[in-house]
Structure 1
Amino acid sequence: MFYLPNEDAALSCTSAFKAKLSSMSISQSFVSQCMNGSNDFVVKPSSCGGIVTMKDWMEKVGPNSLLDSSCTGDLAGLTRCSLCLDAGLKVNTYLVSLNPNVTNDKCFYFTAIYAAAIVSEFGPEDSRTAACVLALPLANKASRSRHLSRGTSKWDKKRKQDALHQGYVTSVKSQILPNTGAKWFQGDEEFINEAEIISKIRHRNLLPLRGFCVTSDNLNGKGRYLVYDFMPNGSLDDHLFNVGTKRLSWPQRKNIILDVAKGLAYLHYGIKPSIYHRDIKATNILLDMDMKARVADFGLAKQIKEGQTHLTTRVAGTYGYLAPEYALYGQLTEKSDVYSFGIMILEIMSGRRVLDASNSSALLVTDWAWTMVKSRNVEGVFDVSIKDEGPKRVMERFVHVGILCAHVMVALRPTIEDALRMLEGDIDIPRLPDRPLPLGFESLESLSLHSDRFRDISVSSSSNSLSRYIQK
């Protein structure tokens, strides 16, 4: 049975627990924080989908649930414990769905009890199992130490509540990363490694990372959060494409483009080894109170090894912004970010999205801009709100650099340093090379779906902000 059979048994148990606390000189008030009374431990068929015994559990959940495969072995490591936590949240969500009118937490407790007492071969008294699953930092007998085991549970018993939902904090370990000032609140090893790289970046055109954490809740599962300074003017996307938002002036657009170029130049050449952002787009460019641009969201960033010229990696990013050689073959270089930057320049200059997902025959903004320039109508690329604002030659130069940066041929794209010098007028722009036949949205999606290198590619719709993910 998951709980005690009757009230007498529950009363006897809680009385014995209080006596044990007294013998340890622990305040009796501690009991009231953990339990509302002995009735809490009396079995009730209505507690969680009719489950009372192990037989009931097997009928409802089965012997081969995610818990059975994820909560075995040594749960001391962050990765193993995270897998167990994720499995527990999913099983709990399933159990709650069997009895949606019940609002208590019994299903969560049933799940934890099953994981610790049945699945774990070490049992609930093992310090590793207790710390991970039951949130009980037991003394480690094997070490003969009276110190509590490091950290607390990923099945943390103390819930974070707000008006919308209850969150389960996955860990409360907190430390300062060396030489960064960014704090580690609760996270898995892969996420921490990635965030540690990002937290070392400091540049006026890059958004500094203040901290990060991982949380989970019954409804949404695990969420990873990056903590940045608040940017009061939102994202570049807000100002370019949101109806009703005041349009950006030409000086603002020019400065934003230059700011982003400087931020990317720092990532590529200002630090060693270089970092490739992999997701340069309007939604990831944030604007501070002075409308200065900050490159943000380094969730996909990759740091290369010293001496490397490229990486072959799984593809991640956003349709339209991905360089063709990266999208199709997983070949990631500094020129991959340059391609995305070129797309962004053309979006800023034209006020037109990279592609219109509502129109299957829509051209990429690069092909459209190239057609306009080839027909000697470069002014047709300019957003109508800035046509008469700036010097035409300078605005034309920005369009030309955008087209050059977003060329499909890697060798024909400039480095970000050269692109910045072209934008600032320090070096001449080479003659624009011809482009292959334009790619429509339909063709682009077809290429991606049939490429064995594609993984987790976000498709951003122009009619809404939803994204979906294409996986192999």
Structure 2
Amino acid sequence: MPSTGRRRSAAALAVVVLAVVVVVLARSLEGVDGAGAGGGNATCPLDLSYVPTFPWDAALCAGGARNMTGCCMTLLSVFAIGLAGQVRATGRFRIPSVGASAACLRDFGAKLSAPPLSLPGASLVPACFPSPDQFVASPSFCAGVTTAAEYRAVVGNDSVAALDFACGADLSSLPLCLRCLDAGIAATSRLKAAANVSGNSSASDTAMNCFYLTVTYAAGISNAAGPTFPSTAGCTLGLALSTPPAAPSKPHDTVIFAAAIPIALLLASLLAFFIWRRRDKKKKIHEISKEGSAERRSHPRPNTGSILFDIAELSRATDSFADGNLVGRGGFGAVYRGVLADGSVVAVKKMLDPDVEGGDEEFTNEVEIISHLRHRNLVPLRGCCIVDDDAEEGKQKFLVYDFMPNGALEDFIFRDVEGGSKRPALTWAQRRSIIMDVARGLEYLHYGVKPAIYHRDIKATNILLDGEMRARVADFGLARRSREGQSHLTTRVAGTHGYLAPEYALYGQLTEKSDVYSFGVLVLEILSGRRVLDMAAPAGPVLITDWAWTLVKAGQAREVLDGALSTAESPRGGTMERFVLVGILCAHVMVALRPTITEAVKMLEGDMDIPELPDRPLPYGHNFMFSEAGSNFSASPAFSGPFMDNGDMLR
């Protein structure tokens, strides 16, 4: 990708980072009831002495604050520095009482009014924060967490360590800020899981509240410099700075970061408006679903076997896309459970903004590719829906699948995901069946259709389980049809950290064996119960492929297996060990040493001998920057810095 393109992508990512953080903080403004400040004789526990001297951009609040939404967002971020400072000093989130919160708001307003700021704090603070109880500590806010100790206990040592590592440095560099955001999303998922178990009703409110705690923790405790350091507040709290922090390298990152801040505030203004209109919009959707005019009813799509659904039918099926029907969320968008008029249960995937890079392309890929696929180990596509005339959201796109009642494989093989701790460990028979199902699904994609299809994003979250615990490959948004007899060379490398074959990640060379590599990683995850990247390893992040290969070479193949697997159910003939060896072989860094998926199936079934495991080059994962959250990413094929004899990977 040309350097200009990378800078534009970086700018877009910076906007997303800052907008997400500001929107999270903005949720404090939703539903304010206008209660009086109160306060009595309570004193403020926050140290707000930084307010007049901190280099925040007060322009949006000057001259009568014509853009009150932007001003309030800025003031909220400034106030959040004090909240993060309290976490750093005392380990307590938010403010202990309504009286203390009212005292803090009075103090905040006074400091805004005093020189050198000289803002109308006496009127701005009540206008932006009319209810002091929005900052008061409450066990119902998120998973019962009110202190840093409780936060660490709920999130877990591994995720907290990853957050501390990712957010601990100077965050003025855009890549470091993005890494911090990734770790924050991963930690928030742990909090959200605990909050849902404890009975919180609104999934969206829970996610926002829990992310609020995470960014406060990251700014107050994880970052070494603390929240009063400009780049810390700029990254973690989305605060616009009057003087952008200087980046340690790549000066254009600083320019991009500074330029993105006002854009993010503009986005925050629009998003805040969306929040305030939320109830009205849901009412409109409900009215549309009742009307459902005859000319817009769902109908078959020609020559595809799929259906073009009407938005009214999908709205009725999902109860206007109610939070209670939300079953998943990821980089692609959100998935809702729905029940159609004929009683069939479906999963409705509402795509992320279709106007972002790759949005239209990935939607078209998924519809056109899956519409023609029929295999028991692939998730069936029912149809799609395109809405071009939504007054508030513009173009919207939806995909409709058969609903898989047992959800994602990730929820069964990892114990640290939502619902995982409540599920029994998979038996050997179940693990074997799932591995074979995935292998046969890939075999169909590679050899059962013409031209062959390369999935490009095989991982545990993209393997769904039906009611009989049979595995089905899902999420074909990144899939590509092959050129007959050739490999792809692409400048847009897309997939998930840790699962990408090295020749694809580094050079954009895409073949059927790129999927085989991802399959090998998945096999090792299923067998071991470990994630693709161990962030808690003493020597630094370790890939599961390097860890497993080391054990096998030491004659300890059984040590790769999950401790939950009973030795009493171990089959004869070393079947478990054979699966381990096939997983390692499929995930070999050299293309020529990987089997095809058909050969892998034969090896797993015992119909083909497994060759002796060859030596591996220096583990490439030791120099890669990974994200525990497993988010999608794009990279140039000319990725800098060879980590081994790179030519070997292409042979």
- The bucket for the TM-score relative to the shorter chain is 0.5 to 0.7
Task: Specify the alignment match of 1:229 in structure 2.
Answer: 402
Deviation at 1:315, TM superposition (A): 0.6
- From 361, 369, 382, give the equivalent of 1:210: 382
* Number of the residue aligned with 1:382: 561
Cα 1:159–1:284 change in 2 (3 A) is: same
In the alignment, the residues of structure 2 paired with residue 341 and residue 100 of structure 1 have an alpha-carbon distance, to the nearest angstrom, of 41
**SS where residue 213 of structure 1 aligns?**
strand
**Contact kept? 2:520, 2:586, Cα under 8 Å:** yes
- Counterpart in the other structure of 2:600: 419
Identity across aligned pairs (percent)?
A: 58
Distance 1:430 1:357 in 2: 31
| 1:100 positional shift | 8.7
Please say which structure displays the higher CA radius of gyration.
Answer: 1
C-alpha separation between the residues in 1 aligned to 2:273 and 2:465? Answer: 46
Indicate whether 1:434 and 2:615 are aligned: yes
Higher relative contact order (CA 8 A, sep 6+): 2
Aligned mates of 2:392, 2:526 — CA distance in 1: 38
More helix by share: 2
1:140-289 maps to which residues of 2 (within 5 A)? 159-161=284-286, 175-185=299-309, 190=361, 191-192=363-364, 194-214=366-386, 224-241=397-414, 242-289=420-467
Count of residues paired in the alignment? 312
Q: How does 1:84-95 map to 2 (within 5 A)?
A: none
Alignment of 1:315-354 (within 5 A): 315-354=493-532
Contact 2:454/2:480 (CA < 8 Å) preserved in 1? yes
**How far apart, in 2, do the equivalents of 1:101 and 1:331 lie?**
43
Contact 2:546–2:619 under 8 Å retained in 1: yes
Contact 2:496-2:630 within 8 A present in 1 as well: no
Residue in structure 2 matched with residue 410 of structure 1 by the alignment? 591
Letter in 2 for 1:444: F
Q: Which residue of 1 aligns with 2:477?
A: 299
Q: CA separation of 1:94/1:435 partners in 2, compared to 1, >3 Å: closer, same or farther?
A: closer
CA–CA distance in structure 2, aligned partners of residues 422 and 405 of structure 1: 11
Judged with a 3 Å threshold, the aligned counterparts in structure 2 of structure 1 residues 221 and 382 are, in CA distance, closer, same or farther, namely farther
Q: Distance in 2 between matches of 1:101 and 1:380?
A: 51
Please report how far the alpha carbon of residue 214 of structure 1 lies from its aligned counterpart in structure 2 after TM superposition.
Answer: 4.5
1:44-83 correspondence to structure 2 within 5 Å? none
Deviates more, 1:302-311 or 1:264-273: 302-311
Please say if residues 313 and 331 of structure 1, whose CA atoms lie closer than 8 Å, have aligned partners that are also in contact.
no
TM-align CA RMSD: 3.7
Distance 1:189 1:343, change over 3 A: closer
Matches within 5 A, 1:85-124: 96=270, 103=277
CA shift at 1:467, angstroms?
3.4
**Does the 8 Å CA contact 2:430/2:469 hold for their aligned counterparts?**
yes
What is the CA–CA distance in structure 2 between the aligned matches of 1:397 and 1:304, rounded to whole Å? Answer: 31
Query: Structure 1 length normalisation: TM-score?
Result: 0.59
Matched residue, 1:355: 533
The 2-side partners of 1:312 and 1:101 are apart by: 39
Q: Structure 1: any 5+ residue segments left out of the alignment?
A: 1-47, 51-89, 109-157, 163-170, 446-458
Indicate if the aligned counterparts of 1:379 and 1:387 stay in contact, CA closer than 8 A: no
Out of 368, 387, 391, the residue aligned to residue 571 of structure 2 is 391
Distance 1:439 1:292, change over 3 A: same
Deviation of 1:444 after TM superposition, in Å, equals 1.3
Which amino acid in 2 is paired with 1:365?
I
Contact kept, 8 Å, 2:586 with 2:594, in 1: the verdict is yes
